[in-house]
Structure 1
Amino acid sequence: MESHSMAVVAYHQAELLDIACITTPLFLANHIGQLTHPYRVHVLAPGGTPVRCATGLTLSVDGSLEKFPGPVETMIVAGGTGHEEAAATGSLLQQIRRLAASSSRVASVCTGASILAAAGLLDGRRATTHWRFAPDLAGRFPRVTVDPAPIYIRDGKIATAAGVTSALDLTLSFIQEDHGAALARQVARDLVTYLHRPGDQAQMSVFVAADNGCSGTVHAATRYVAAHLADDLSTPAIASHVGVSGRHLSRLFQSELGMPPARFVRSARLDAAARLLESGQLPVAVIARRCGFSSADQFRQCFAGQYALPPSKYRSRFSGPDTAGMEEAAG
């Protein structure tokens, strides 16, 4: 039986969740899909010895990276706190280049991008990594165009994922590419995860980002935005609610969130609209109104600018099977 051969490269202090977010969806795809061409997953490490993961658990591997003959259809390099040591190990980089040369797809998760970059595989390409490590990757490898925003990027046969659970999204995209959207949706449901977030979705949902170490004023402002998407969310209106001037609120948002209030509001509205499109059957015009857009046309333009898809096509690609085929007169 012909199979899809997948090699996951681990090393000392690799992140176990990076690896599991690849191997588990592939296992479920085999189990659920009863595939004619199932995935055959090889977890490889230098020397073939067990890997002590960054989280303290020891992972047995399937074989030695050096002795694995290849070729493989897809090679994926995990991230982890040991990525700098791995990226400085010439013998490991040599094996990465060897397998990459005969692979149809090459990918990394999180700081695994630094290993691909050190091997020269990201030169002249656009790539992502975990937002926290993006400045370091860009500084160390100036020939790589680092974009810290998306959850994953595919540039030719090279794919880079932002980190940890974004590996789920990248792996689901591989499953959809290989076996169709229906199986990818079923795997996502079994994992109780989003039904395949698009790669250009932001790494940090605005709602998560807003709770991440912000001052009380910004925290109160973002919570107000999230709860009143259909209301007047101009900067003066938000500032009045939290008891500061509009100018001071703008300074706080810029320093703590890296964006002005208006941009945060727009992102919050689009994020909420995307969730409604994925999870329900509300008409586009209703979603537009609930999320604070002045009209369905304005919503369509803003949404397409963010996600590169009109709302109706986004819904058909990323919603469950109960809504995927729905015709929307307002879409």
Structure 2
Amino acid sequence: MEIAFLLFDDYETLDVYGPAEIFGRLVDFYSPKFYSMEGGIVKNRHGVSVMTESLKTIGNHPFIFLIPGGMGTRKEVDNSLLINKIKEISLNSNFVLTVCTGSALLAKTGLLDGKQATSNKRAFSWASSNGPEVIWDKEARWKVDGKFYTSSGVSAGMDMSLGFLADRHGLEFAKKVATEIEYNWIEDKDYDTFKAK
């Protein structure tokens, strides 16, 4: 099943590669692919570059659509072409996962209106301002509302990804993956130690 990762300039490194490590090692279940609006090489402020395919080539029904955060979201939240494309792909995906301020991009589409969500606690005010009709949770490490999974900052994307695996494949399956990558999984989705003050 395809996992479509959205990339844009100045995406956050771990937002993408943490979940990519978790899902990517499960080759019998998931096939990660990287996309951007126009395709080609996308680079972030850490100097990490990746070759992407254009969102125009994305399949009609990706199983998972993952939207990372990063400083690039501050610009992309006003990119109506990208926001409309995010909405289109999200509507056609089985699940939509956001990491960090990626929830601001999803919120801008209106698809999170009336739904519970969270975001990076250090950028919570800004992220939540992009979705005034969203039920924002300042306490959660990650939230699940229907097919939408939203997580807090940076490393929380890994916790959410493991939580997603637990929901789909069982808790022991997710714990095994966490052990294989030697990661101390924060299993409590309802409490973020980095919560907003």
**C-alpha root-mean-square deviation of aligned residues, in Å?**
1.8
**1:22 alignment partner in structure 2:** 19
Point out which structure has higher relative CO (alpha carbons under 8 A, 6+ apart).
2
For 1:155, give the aligned amino acid.
D
Task: Answer whether contact 1:53 1:59 (CA < 8 A) is retained.
Answer: no
Shift, 1:67, TM fit: 2.2
Task: Answer whether contact 1:27 1:39 (CA < 8 A) is retained.
Answer: yes
Q: Which residue, 100, 104, 108 being the options, matches 1:114?
A: 104
Aligned residues: 197
**1:66 alignment partner in structure 2:** 56
Distance in 2 of aligned mates of 1:58 and 1:110: 20
Distance in 2 of aligned mates of 1:196 and 1:71: 30
Distance in 1 of aligned mates of 2:167 and 2:127: 28
Task: Answer whether contact 1:188 1:196 (CA < 8 A) is retained.
Answer: no
Task: Answer whether contact 2:4 2:33 (CA < 8 A) is retained.
Answer: yes
* TM-score normalised per structure 2: 0.92
Identity %: 25
Distance in 2 of aligned mates of 1:16 and 1:70: 27
Alignment of 1:127 with 2:117, yes or no, is: yes
**2:131 alignment partner in structure 1:** 141
Alignment of 1:7 with 2:4, yes or no, is: yes
Distance 1:177 1:138, change over 3 A: closer
Rg (Cα) greater in structure = 1
Aligned pairs for 1:138-177 within 5 A: 138-177=128-167
For 2:5, give the aligned amino acid.
V
For 1:23, give the aligned amino acid.
A
Distance 1:100 1:140, change over 3 A: closer
For 2:85, give the aligned amino acid.
Q
Aligned pairs for 1:242-281 within 5 A: none
Q: Relative to total residues, which structure has the larger strand share, 1 or 2?
A: 2
Instruction: Summarize deviations over 1:197-244 as a string: whole Å, max 9, x none.
Output: 121122428xxxxxxxxxxxxxxxxxxxxxxxxxxxxxxxxxxxxxxx
Instruction: Summarize deviations over 1:72-107 as a string: whole Å, max 9, x none.
Output: 111110101010211111111121111111111112
* TM-score normalised per structure 1: 0.56
Distance in 2 of aligned mates of 1:52 and 1:26: 22
Q: Which residue, 32, 39, 64 being the options, matches 1:41?
A: 32
Distance 1:99 1:139, change over 3 A: closer
Distance 1:46 1:140, change over 3 A: closer
Distance 1:17 1:195, change over 3 A: closer
Shift, 1:143, TM fit: 0.9
Shift, 1:48, TM fit: 0.9
Shift, 1:41, TM fit: 1.1
Distance 1:179 1:143, change over 3 A: same
For 1:57, give the aligned amino acid.
V
Shift, 1:196, TM fit: 4.9
